[in-house]
Structures are given as structure tokens and as C-alpha cells.
Amino acid sequence: MTLFQPLTLPNGTQLPNRLAKAAMEENMANADHAPSEALIRLYSQWAEGEVGLMITGNVMIDGRAMTGPGGVVLESDAHAEQFRRWAKAAKAKGAQVWMQINHPGRQMQSNLGQTTVAPSAVALEMGSFSKRFSVPRALSEADIEDLRNRYINTAVLAEQLGFDGVQIHAAHGYLLSQFLSPITNKRTDQWGGSIENRARLLLDVVKGVRSRVGKQFAVSVKINSADFQRGGFSEDDAKRVIEWLNPLGLDLIELSGGSYEAPAMQGQARDGRTLAREAYFLEFAKDIAQVANVPIMVTGGIRRLPVAEQVLDSGIDMVGIATALALNPALPAQWKAGQPAAPELRPITWNNKVLASLAYMAMVKHQLHRMGKGLLPNGQVLPSVALLMQQWETLLRTRQYRRWAGVR
């Protein structure tokens, strides 16, 4: 098996190669929170780079619940043409494009002016940054049913608007991940307690989406291999959830890890576990993949061709790449041509891990915004400069969002 060998999915469709653009949060919506011209231009560049699969940055199922200002929202077909153009641009060179659908739960900043909800009223613990997030309101039974229906509605719309599939985001500490983790899910009803109960909403969402979309429309899940927090969602929990997902008609499971509190998706952990510098989650994925009956994708720090090949050689089906494609959208085509490109951001040496995590995300977004303007990426941008620029952009976007949402 090689990186440039096609992968036939369980739904019968085929990905042209084993390289996927993993989701990165772009925050590049237009004033209507639909895909902007810059976002469409960005995906056109990735299409030219000949990646086999593109998974979008998260698209929100509820305009009142945003991972950040400037996010794309899909609740209706009001801006259908922009979504169709986005999908068409991504698929221009033969790749499939899947929409990542998401709800932040408690991981929504309070300055957006919305009520934060979560499985339980458990606040984020991020040191001095905790005050940026409200203590969430615990969801009611009616709220949970509404959320399930919103995931399904957004998936159905994605199919109608030209996307080839959806990825249900149940990782990185967002809402479905919060249900899975005993740290954030303290419920004593059918949605909490045992891992069977904590996984119930995710399984219900998957079943609901699969029942409403076409057979050749891909349905996938992104799940943590672990939370990397003591007492959190564990590798054993992940194995059990994957065993329950196996018979539900999924086409791919992406393994990642971490949350805002423990950003393991950037190679950091709070539970004492050491993560390798590149392909951080591979050691966990090889073990977890043993129980999976559907293709597995691993994302996290991969930027060199030999490492990507190592991932495939270990029995993983797809290689997810994020930051490296933000720095070099032509990476797949260059690797195919035998060019040993290995793009890398300027290192961050700050001691404050939360601040370093924010700077890392700002540096990645800096590249996406440059490409959206038709400029080349700049991996040598200073972390402090990228962070200041991102803070200014976030301030403007927050004001724009509050006007759009009618928040005073």
C-alpha cells in the first residue's frame, strides 16, 4: 500500500489517494456566516495540490453556538449558492470534500454573548484564561433532542449542497467529546455515568445521520484516542466506542486527541504521557485500530513523507495532515513527484502552555488567511505577531458576529 494508491470506502466511493487535509478552524465566513470568497479561494489552492480528501474546518450546527467568531454556520439553505461553490472548488481536481459538523458546548468564549451549554455545569480550567469562558448550563432532555436533530439537519443540507460526506466532530473537547468524558459529563441520567451512557448521544447522532443521507454519502466521526487528562476519556473508552460505531455504517474514523485544557493535538498532554514530535497519535491509533472494522485516519504533526509512509505501514488507512498543508498546499503533488518537502512553523519556546497553544493556532490561521487573499504562506511569522494579529481579527469578528446574532 502506498500513499498514492486509491482507497475504496465502505459506501463504494473511492478516494484518489491516502492523503487527507484534516480540519483546521479557518474563521473565514462572510458577514452572513456563509463561505466567503477567501474561504473558497483557500480550498481551490488545496484542490490544486492534489490531496485525496478535504475535511472542512468545523461548520456550526447552531448559530448560537460558535467555536469562534467568523465560523461558517449551516442551519438552512439560505446561502446555498456559496456552499455549492465551496464544495465545487474543493472537488475541482478529483478530491472528495467532507463537511466537519460541530457544536462547541462549553468551549465557547463568553464575549460572543451567548448562553453556553454542556452535558454538565463544569467550567473550563485554563488558569488565567478560564475567565474567558462561562460556566455552562447543563442541557435538558429537550435540549439534547434538539441538538441531535441539528446535527442531522446540517448533514442533510451538506449532501444537498454538493458535499461528498460529513465528519461528526466528537474530539478536542467539543460538545460530543464532553459527553464522552467523565470529567465534563457528571450526569446521572441515561446520558451520563457509564461509557455506554456517555456514548449514547454520539451513537444516536450517527444513526440519525446515516438514516437520512444517501448510501454513497460518506459519514465519518472524529474521536479522541484519549483526552490526555487524568480521569478523562481513556484509550479503553475509545476502543469500546469504536466497537459500537462499527456496525453503524461509517466510512472513516479519524483518531486525534486532547482539548482546550490539554491541547494534545499540538503535541502537549496534561496526564504525564509523552507524545512523539511527529505523528503524535500513531502509538495510540495502532492499538485502537485493532478493534475497528472501518478505515482509520490518524492526524497530528505529520509533515514529512517518510513519517506519512510509516503511518500507512502501521496499518492505518489514511494520513491526515493539517499544519503542513497550511504551509504548503502543494505538498501531496510534490511528494508524488519525489520532492522531499517538509514544511514547518517557526518553533514556539514560551513556558506558558496555554499561551503557546493560542499562538500556535494563530500562526496556522495566519497561513490560511494569507492563502485566502491569494498570498503565499509565511511559516516564519513570529508567534507574537501572529497572536496579536489574530486577537485584532477576533475582536472585529466578534463585533460582526454579535451584530449578526442580535446580541446586545
Q: How confident is the model at residue 5 (pLDDT cuts 50, 70, 90)?
A: very high
In a domain, 384, yes or no: no
In a domain, 366, yes or no: no
In a domain, 44, yes or no: yes
CA distance 394 to 408: 17
With a pLDDT cut of 90, the percent of the chain lying above it is: 79
| The three grid cell numbers given for residue 123, joined into one nine-digit string | 467550567
> Which residue in the block uniquely carries the three cell numbers 472501518?
294
pTM of the model: 0.94
pLDDT, mean over the chain: 91
| CATH assignment of the domain containing 24 | 3.20.20.70
CA distance 83 to 158: 8
In a domain, 379, yes or no: no
With a pLDDT cut of 70, the percent of the chain lying above it is: 92
CA distance 5 to 341: 20
Q: Map residue 320 onto helix, strand or coil.
A: strand
**For residue 113, is pLDDT > 70?**
yes
> Which residue in the block uniquely carries the three cell numbers 448560537?
64
In a domain, 20, yes or no: yes
Structural domains counted in the chain: 1
Q: How confident is the model at residue 158 (pLDDT cuts 50, 70, 90)?
A: very high
User: Which domain does 64 fall in, by range?
Assistant: 7-345
pLDDT value at residue 266: 46
**For residue 282, is pLDDT > 80?**
no
pLDDT value at residue 300: 81
Question: 85: which residues sit within 8 A by CB, 6+ positions away?
Answer: 35, 40
**For residue 387, is pLDDT > 90?**
yes
Beta pairing, strands 318-321 & 19-21: parallel
CA distance 75 to 62: 7
**For residue 155, is pLDDT > 90?**
yes
In a domain, 242, yes or no: yes
Please report the DSSP string for 188-211 in residue order: -STTSSSHHHHTHHHHHHHHHHHH
In a domain, 380, yes or no: no
pLDDT value at residue 272: 40
Residue 170 dihedral angles phi and psi, to the nearest 5°: -125, 35
In a domain, 358, yes or no: no
Nearest of 104, 80, 98, 103 to residue 32 by alpha carbon: 80
**For residue 232, is pLDDT > 80?**
no
**For residue 229, is pLDDT > 70?**
no
